[in-house]
Amino acid sequence: MDDRNKDLMNQQHSEQIISEKIDEYATPQEDLKIIVLDLLPVENGFDHHTIKFDAVRNGSLVVRRGQTFDLLVKFNREFVMQKDSLRFTFETGNEPSPVRGSYIECLLGNKENQSRWRVMIKKRIAEDEIVLFAYTPPDCLVSNWKLTVETVELTDEFVNPISRSKEIHLFILFNPWCQDDSVYFPDNKLLEEYVNNDSGVIFQGNYKQIGAKPWFFGQFEEGILEASLYCMQKGFNFKV
Tens of pLDDT along 27-66? Answer: 457 889 999 999 999 999 999 999 999 999 999 999 999 9
Establish if 19 belongs to a structural domain.
no
Q: Residue 180: inside a domain, yes or no? A: no
Cβ atoms of 214 and 229 closer than 8 Å = no
Domain annotation covers residue 7? no
Question: Are 70 and 169 within one domain?
Answer: yes
What pLDDT, on a 0 to 100 scale, did the predictor assign at position 239?
61
Residues 6+ apart with CB under 8 A from 8: none
My answer on whether 194 and 84 are in the same domain is no
Contacts of 28 (CB under 8 A, 6+ apart): none
230: containing domain: 188-236
Report DSSP letters for 179-194, one per residue: TTSTT--S-HHHHIII
Whether residue 52 lies inside any domain: the answer is: yes
pLDDT in tens, 180-199: 999 999 999 999 999 999 99
Determine, yes or no, domain membership for 210.
Answer: yes
**Residue 152 in this model has a pLDDT that exceeds 60:** yes
How far apart CA 228 and CA 61 sit, in angstroms, is 16
Residue 29 lies in a domain: no
pLDDT at position 4 is 53
Q: Contact, 29 vs 77, CB < 8 A? A: yes
Query: What's 111's domain CATH number?
Result: 2.60.40.10
**Residue 116 sits in the same domain as residue 169:** yes
Per-residue pLDDT, averaged over 116-128, amounts to 94
How many structural domains compose the chain? 2
Which of residues 155 and 58 earns the better pLDDT score?
Answer: 58
152 and 196 assigned to the same domain: no
138 and 56 in a single domain? The answer is: yes
Q: What is the mean pLDDT of the chain?
A: 85
In a domain, 15, yes or no: no
| pTM of this structure | 0.81
Residue 21 is predicted with a pLDDT of 44
pLDDT digits (tens, 9 = 90+) for 159-169: 777 888 878 99
Q: Is residue 218 part of a domain?
A: yes
In a shared domain, residues 152 and 226: no
Tens of pLDDT, residue by residue over 189-232, are 999 999 999 998 888 998 889 999 999 999 999 999 999 999 98
